[in-house]
Structures are given as structure tokens and as C-alpha cells.
């Protein structure tokens, strides 16, 4: 990426001066480069980006654009980690980012369109030539490219990084992470996936993620899952099946145990591995999210999209089993089959509250009768009865210190 920044600066032609006689970057080239890239119009920005992709200029092959995009995402992860701007996430408590870099680059490249509107895919994409107008259209429609360049320059080179009015676009690029510190758990998410999924959340929910449930911490139990996620506000569910596929959904409302569909059209399903993608509602029906437990007449489990017995994403109350049915697509979210097999076996699961957890879910929420009445607790102990709920309830980690912020 350093070489690409250099090539971009060298591409600045100064009136009356020949930049080819020296390898050094002049002050004027540096200033114009930064100004054009951070504040310039589309024409000013795209000519520099074209030279950063390939210093020769001219039409670009898809493979060259792919390599630039992967370098850019890798640099963003590196810069945020080096500057301690991952807000409690780290390369140690998340999945290896290398596969996430390729998955995010592939998702961004899927927006490359030829002048006739067709989108080349796979090996065809890599060999296709794209002219400047196509690349300009792509950069305009894929805001992550400009945002990532801004991160590399502002945070990496510390240029204009301290101006608050200039950093709104990168303020919530990564959400604050709560609830994973000191637990020795590696999240199912990687940094590129966190950045991408977070950008699809409602703006007021992008500032913080808090771990509510992890099967590796809380055990493989549907009742434990329900106990940790019900009435905790909007949240993200992520699942890994035994084949290594990673996928999940965003629930826009607090989960409630009831035999009806709930949520609204902000809900979506997503895939993290082997592909990274978000699938939003189609308007076909309102089967956004469903959670039921302990009933004989209705399906018991957690589901999103599709219909009862044929969900886009389903975790059975007989914990460990699930399905992702889509022939050819989920009616609610237009998502394909997310798991490797239609009926899958669950390997691991996490649920993250996003935004501010409702006050009623925190310490100010309803207390156990044993918390309210210590005499009741004493009577139980005198009778030789143990507290069945002891050890099952965990304090919310709202007050956890800001991880890695110092």
C-alpha cells in the first residue's frame, strides 16, 4: 500500500515542472494528493486511484483492481490495529482476517459493472478490462473504497486525523466491543466482516456490540440461549456449521418468546464465510424473526425469514440442529442457502447486542425474588435448598472499562 500511495503522489503533474527527473515527492505533490483524495471531486479522486491501482494508467484488468482492493482492506486492518483503534476488538480475539479480506474484496468487486450493465464474475472478472469511467462509477457506488482510503491516510499517515468534522465517515467504522475481554474466546467474526456487517446496521446501532451469548462460554443449550438474548434489544446472531460455513442474521427488535413472527423490515440475513454478503427484506412477507420455546402445537426454535418449517435460518430448540432452506431463494430476504447443507449441525454460535442495551435488561431490570428479599434466601438455605438460579445469571458488562482505548 505504501508503494501505491507513492505512485499516487508521483502521478500529480505540476505545471511547469517535470516530475519524472526525481524519485522524490515534492511538497506540492503531497499536498495536492491529500487534498484531491480526501476532499476532491470525482474526477480528481479517480485519476489518483487509477494510478494507485496501476501506475501505467489506462484500462485496468479486474485482477489489478482486486489486488488493490485486498491491499486496501489489509492496510485498514493493520492501521486500526497498530493505532489501537479497534475499540476492544483485536487480531487475537477475532477470526484470522486473511480470509475476511478476500471475502470483503470479492463482495466489493461484485459491484463492478460494464457500460452495458453486466457484472462479470469469477475468472471472467479478473481478465476483463475496465476503463476509467467504469472504475469511477464503481468508486462512487461503493463508499467503502473512499472510506478505507480515508482511514489509511488519516490514521495511517496521521493527516487530518484529529479534525472531528472530517472523521464522521470513519467514526463508527468499527463498533466498540464489550463482553469478550478476558474470556479467552475468539469471536466467529473477523475484522473485515465486523466492518462490513456494522455498516448495514441502522446508524444509531453502529457504535457498540456487546456479547450476550456464546455457546463456548454459556454452553450448548437452547434454554441458556433464550435466557441470555430475550428482551436485550436488537442483536446479531452468527452461526458456524460443522462444515465451517459462517452465517447469521440481524434482529431489529428484542427477541421475545411467542408463537408469532416479530421484528420489522430492518432485519436482514448475512453470510460471512465462504462469501461475505448481506440479504435485505424483499417485501414479500413480514416473517422477519421468530422465537418460540416449550409449545407443542408450534415450531420451537429460533428462525428468520421464509416460513415455519422452511426458514432462511433456523436453530431448533433441540439445540445443535438447524436448517437454511432456500429453493432458490428465501422469500423474506432473497438469501440463498446459507449453510453448507440444507439441514446442518451447529458447531458454534454467538449473539451480539448492537447499540445500547435496553435499561430494563441491565442492572436496573427486574430482580429475582431472592435478590429483593434476603429473608427468602435465608429460609431456603436453612431448609437445605440451594438457589437454582445461582451461577446462571451473569451481570451485564455495561460498566466494563473501555477495552484497549488507552
Query: Is position 366 within any domain?
Result: no
Beta bridge partners of 323: 314, 343
User: 87 in the Ramachandran plot: left (φ > 0), alpha (ψ -120 to 50) or beta?
Assistant: left
Could you tell me if 281 and 288 are in contact, meaning their C-beta atoms sit under 8 angstroms apart? yes
Rounded CA separation 348/211 (Å): 14
**Cα gap 224→389, rounded to integer Å:** 12
**Domain tally, the chain:** 2
Residue 335 grid cell: 438469501
Predicted model pTM? 0.86
Are residue 214 and residue 313 in the same domain, yes or no?
Answer: yes
3-class DSSP state of 89? strand
Is residue 315 situated within a structural domain? yes
Structural domain of residue 349, as residue ranges? 203-358
**Co-location of 147 and 214 in the same domain:** no
Q: Among all chains, which residue has been given the C-alpha cell 475499540? A: 87
89 and 10 in one domain? yes
The reported pLDDT for the residue numbered 339 is 97
Same domain, yes or no: 149 and 225: no
Are 26 and 84 in the same domain?
yes
Residues 12, 102, single domain; the answer is yes
The predicted pLDDT at position 108 comes to: 96
* Same domain assignment for residues 230 and 289: yes
Question: Residue 392 has what pLDDT?
Answer: 46
Q: Which helix (H) or strand (E) holds 107?
A: helix 97-109
Same domain as 254, residue 113: no
261 in the same domain as 314: yes
pLDDT score, position 338: 97
Calculated CA dihedral for residues 286, 238, 68, 64, nearest 10 degrees: -70
Please report the DSSP string for 126-187 in residue order.
Answer: HH-EE-HHHHHHHHHH-HHHHHHHHHIIIIIS-SSTT-GGG-HHHHTSSPEEES-TTTT---
Q: Do residue 237 and residue 354 come from a single domain?
A: yes
Number of neighbouring beta carbons within 10 Å of residue 103: 24
- Residues 226, 310, single domain; the answer is yes
Q: What is the pLDDT of residue 373?
A: 52
- Classify residue 196: in a domain, yes or no: no
Domain contains 406: no
The answer to whether 217 and 183 are in contact (CB under 8 A) is: yes
Q: How confident is the prediction along the chain (406 residues), in pLDDT tens digits per residue?
A: 999 999 889 888 887 666 556 788 889 999 999 888 888 887 888 888 998 999 877 789 999 999 999 999 999 999 999 999 999 999 999 999 999 999 999 999 999 998 888 999 889 999 999 998 999 999 989 989 989 998 999 888 888 666 655 556 678 899 999 999 888 899 999 999 999 999 999 999 999 999 999 999 998 999 999 999 999 999 999 999 999 999 999 999 999 999 899 999 999 999 999 999 999 999 999 999 999 988 878 889 999 999 988 999 999 998 889 999 998 999 999 999 999 999 999 999 999 999 998 877 654 444 444 444 555 555 555 555 544 444 444 544 444 444 444 3
Residue 387 pLDDT? 46
Query: Does residue 374 form part of some domain?
Result: no
- Cα separation, 143 vs 72, in Å, equals 13
32 found inside a domain = yes
User: Are 33 and 162 members of one domain?
Assistant: yes
- Distance CA(188)–CA(348), nearest Å, equals 8
Angle ∠(186,142,56) on CA atoms, nearest 5: 105
CA distance 329 to 229: 28
Residue 131 domain flag: yes
Helix, strand and coil content of the chain, in percent to the nearest 5, comes to 35, 20, 45
Burial readout 252-272 (b: 16 or more C-beta within 10 A, e: otherwise): bebbeeeeebbbeebbbbbbb
Amino acid at each position: 500500500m505504501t508503494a501505491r500511495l507513492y505512485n499516487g503522489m508521483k502521478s500529480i503533474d505540476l505545471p511547469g515542472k517535470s516530475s519524472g527527473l526525481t524519485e522524490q515527492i515534492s511538497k506540492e505533490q503531497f499536498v495536492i494528493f491529500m487534498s484531491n483524495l480526501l476532499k476532491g471531486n470525482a474526477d480528481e479522486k479517480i485519476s489518483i486511484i487509477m494510478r494507485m491501482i496501476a501506475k501505467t494508467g489506462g484500462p485496468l484488468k479486474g485482477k489489478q483492481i482486486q489486488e488493490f482492493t485486498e491491499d486496501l482492506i489489509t492496510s485498514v486492518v493493520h492501521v486500526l490495529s497498530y493505532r489501537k483503534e479497534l475499540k476492544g476488538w483485536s487480531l487475537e480475539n477475532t477470526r484470522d482476517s486473511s480470509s475476511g479480506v478476500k471475502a470483503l474484496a470479492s463482495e466489493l468487486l461484485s459491484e463492478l459493472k460494464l457500460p452495458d450493465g453486466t457484472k462479470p464474475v469469477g475468472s471472467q472478472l479478473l481478465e476483463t478490462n475496465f476503463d476509467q469511467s467504469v472504475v469511477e462509477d464503481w468508486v462512487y457506488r461503493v463508499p467503502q473504497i473512499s472510506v478505507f482510503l480515508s482511514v489509511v491516510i488519516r490514521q495511517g499517515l496521521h493527516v487530518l486525523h484529529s479534525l472531528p468534522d472530517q472523521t464522521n465517515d470513519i467514526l463508527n467504522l468499527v463498533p466498540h466491543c464489550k463482553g469478550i475481554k478476558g474470556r479467552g474466546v475468539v469471536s466467529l467474526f473477523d475484522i473485515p466482516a465486523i466492518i462490513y456487517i456494522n455498516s448495514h446496521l441502522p446508524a444509531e446501532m453502529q457504535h457498540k456490540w456487546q456479547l450476550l451469548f456464546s455457546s463456548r462460554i454459556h454452553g450448548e443449550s437452547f434454554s441458556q440461549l433464550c435466557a441470555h438474548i430475550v428482551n436485550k434489544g436488537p442483536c446479531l446472531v452468527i452461526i458456524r456449521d460443522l462444515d465451517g460455513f459462517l452465517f447469521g442474521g440481524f434482529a431489529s427488535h428484542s427477541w421475545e418468546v411467542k408463537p408469532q413472527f416479530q421484528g420489522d423490515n430492518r432485519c436482514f440475513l448475512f453470510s460471512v464465510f465462504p462469501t461475505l454478503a448481506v440479504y435485505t427484506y424483499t417485501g414479500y412477507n413480514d416473517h422477519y424473526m421468530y422465537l418460540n420455546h416449550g409449545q407443542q402445537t408450534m415450531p420451537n426454535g429460533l428462525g428468520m425469514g421464509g416460513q415455519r418449517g422452511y426458514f432462511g435460518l433456523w436453530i431448533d430448540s433441540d439445540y445443535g440442529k438447524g436448517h437454511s432452506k432456500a429453493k432458490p431463494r428465501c422469500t423474506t430476504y432473497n438469501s440463498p442457502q446459507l449453510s453448507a447443507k440444507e439441514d446442518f449441525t451447529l458447531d458454534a454460535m454467538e449473539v451480539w447486542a448492537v447499540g445500547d442495551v435496553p435499561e430494563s435488561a441491565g442492572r436496573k431490570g427486574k430482580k429475582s425474588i431472592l435478590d429483593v428479599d434476603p429473608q427468602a434466601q435465608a429460609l431456603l438455605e436453612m431448609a437445605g435448598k440451594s438457589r437454582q438460579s445461582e451461577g446462571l445469571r451473569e451481570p451485564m458488562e455495561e460498566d466494563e472499562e473501555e477495552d484497549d482505548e488507552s
